[in-house]
Amino acid sequence: MTADLVLRNVALPTGRRADVVVAGGIVRHVGAAVRAEETIDCSRYTCLPGAVDMHVHMRGGVQAEKEDWRTGTMSAVAGGVTVVVDQPNTVPPITTPELLRARIRDAEEHAVCGFAVNAGVSPEADLAGMREAGAMAFGETFAAPSSYGEGLDPETLRGLLARIHAFGGLATVHAEEVSGPAPATLADHDRARPGAGEARAVQAVLGLAPAGMRLHFCHLSTAASVRAARGTVEVTPHHLFLSHGMFEESDTRARMNPPLRDEETRRDLWSCWDAIDVVASDHAPHTRPEKALPFETAPSGIPGVETMVPLLMAAVRRRRITLASVIEKTSWKPAAILGIPRAGFEPGDRADYALYPDAVTRIDAAALHAKCGWSPFDGLDAVFPEAVIVGGERAYASGDHLAVHPAWYPGQGFLSSENK
């Protein structure tokens, strides 16, 4: 056998070491060494399957000052993420097959890692048409308003969920309650979008959804919300690692939806670690000038795709969580939910990997690749990958991005030319 790439001395999840042989972007053999065009010795690294971040906002278009497909996916790869799922609350929102196809074409031209694109959920949206055009999932479906997303009233939401369920689609849900005047501080923001309201919103959505529907709850921020949910559950690094008391009261860099909670709530969220299906970043960058606006008018959202897995790897090094759980929640479970081939160490697996050193460093916002140039995680412990492989090709090495050929991952409803 001749291979494109061999990863030598990989420490497998089973505990043994072996060589992983890759050809055509797929694992072909695990075991004895073979000849290859490129060889990487993994004996000094922890080799993880590439992460799937199923909740990012890659911006672009009229929002290109914030982020675009190239800078956003460069940031992803530098953080060990090899597939991103873009949300549809773009400007304009993705509500037609034509807009969806244009978004996919933009990614095909500029992305440097694998990608999928979700469909917008609104009364006027052509849900069935976007399913056939390749939408991965439907949503964020907004049960409450957020940046560039209008909240849906209960009866409208009930009808849209029924339409999505009718063709077996996956609905991803932003569940919150919002009340009161515009918040002036981080604590006000927490009270305006309370954790108890989030849990009630989760229960309300469950009551509106048809029995047996495929539901995925995005960015839940409290233990009560995680326990209330059915379907699959996602949390973010910012709700795991940050609380609003870590920031000055008016620091808009820590403004996001759902809000950061208090320290007790943050710690309690960790108690649900085993019940969490997915960790996703909700990467939603805004420019420094936008974040410099008064708190009442500054937009919600933060960059996070590059720091997601490095933060979790630092927690592994501190023995707070297991390596196996990080692989499950950042790679294998998201792939299973989305129905895409998983990255891994068995023949037939997708050959996406990130190689992490032992050393724990600190996050330096100035060294990250997101276009916005700032991070609320600045100064926190992290372990960044030294090399990343996408589709069997080295995409990142010692700080340098290399040319790769990333794949589009369409949803299950995609009608290819072969099966029309």
Three-class secondary structure of residue 185 per DSSP:
coil
- pLDDT of amino acid 386: 98
Q: Is 9 marked as a binding-site residue?
A: no
Say whether both 366 and 330 belong to one domain: no
Q: Which of 391, 371, 91, 305 shows the shortest CA–CA distance to 102? A: 91
Say whether both 167 and 133 belong to one domain: yes
Q: Is 219 marked as a binding-site residue?
A: yes
Say whether both 57 and 176 belong to one domain: yes
Say whether both 56 and 22 belong to one domain: no
Q: Is 244 marked as a binding-site residue?
A: no
Would residue 188 show up in a list of annotated catalytic residues for this protein?
Answer: no
Segment 186-214 mean pLDDT: 97
Segment 353-375 mean pLDDT: 97
End-of-domain residue from the set 338, 373, 389: 338
Considering the domain boundaries, does residue 84 fall inside one? Answer: yes
Rounded-to-integer distance, Cα 94 and Cα 198, Å? 25
Q: Is 378 marked as a binding-site residue?
A: no
- pLDDT of amino acid 419: 44
Rounded-to-integer distance, Cα 215 and Cα 312, Å? 25
Rounded-to-integer distance, Cα 51 and Cα 338, Å? 13
Segment 90-117 mean pLDDT: 97
- pLDDT of amino acid 146: 77
Say whether both 167 and 22 belong to one domain: no
Backbone angles phi and psi of 63, in degrees to 5: -105, 20
- pLDDT of amino acid 418: 44
- pLDDT of amino acid 143: 87
Say whether both 289 and 397 belong to one domain: no
Q: Is 29 marked as a binding-site residue?
A: no
Say whether both 303 and 379 belong to one domain: no
Question: Residue 269: is its pLDDT beyond 50?
Answer: yes
Question: Residue 76: is its pLDDT beyond 60?
Answer: yes
What tokens appear for 202 in the block? 């989760």
Three-class secondary structure of residue 33 per DSSP:
coil
The answer, yes or no, to whether the previous bond of 258 is cis (omega within 30 of 0) is: yes
Confidence of residue 144 (pLDDT cuts 50, 70, 90): confident
First CA to last CA distance, the chain: 37
End-of-domain residue from the set 338, 372, 390: 338
Q: Which domain holds residue 366?
A: 2-46+346-401
Residue 144's CATH number: 3.20.20.140
What does the mean pLDDT of the chain come to? 95
Say whether both 131 and 232 belong to one domain: yes
Say whether both 277 and 243 belong to one domain: yes
- Total number of domains constituting the chain: 2
Considering the domain boundaries, does residue 416 fall inside one? Answer: no
Q: Is 57 marked as a binding-site residue?
A: yes
End-of-domain residue from the set 321, 338, 355: 338
Say whether both 248 and 288 belong to one domain: yes
The counts of H helices and E strands in the chain are 13, 19
Q: Are 164 and 121 in contact (CB under 8 A)?
A: yes
Q: Which of 88, 56, 89, 61 shows the shortest CA–CA distance to 73? A: 56
Say whether both 378 and 238 belong to one domain: no
Q: Mean pLDDT lowest for which of 67-76, 258-267, 402-411?
A: 402-411
Question: Residue 416: is its pLDDT beyond 50?
Answer: no
Q: Are 161 and 182 in contact (CB under 8 A)?
A: no
Give the H/E segment covering residue 404. Answer: none
- pLDDT of amino acid 415: 54
Segment 194-204 mean pLDDT: 97
Rounded-to-integer distance, Cα 269 and Cα 144, Å? 22
- Choose, from 4, 19, 277, 282, the residue flagged as catalytic: 282
To the nearest 10°, the Cα dihedral for 184, 152, 100, 73? 30
Confidence of residue 121 (pLDDT cuts 50, 70, 90): very high
What tokens appear for 119 in the block? 């469909």
Residue 31's CATH number: 2.30.40.10
Q: Is 308 marked as a binding-site residue?
A: no
- pLDDT of amino acid 417: 38
Question: Residue 202: is its pLDDT beyond 80?
Answer: yes
Q: Is 282 marked as a binding-site residue?
A: yes
- pLDDT of amino acid 113: 98
Say whether both 280 and 359 belong to one domain: no
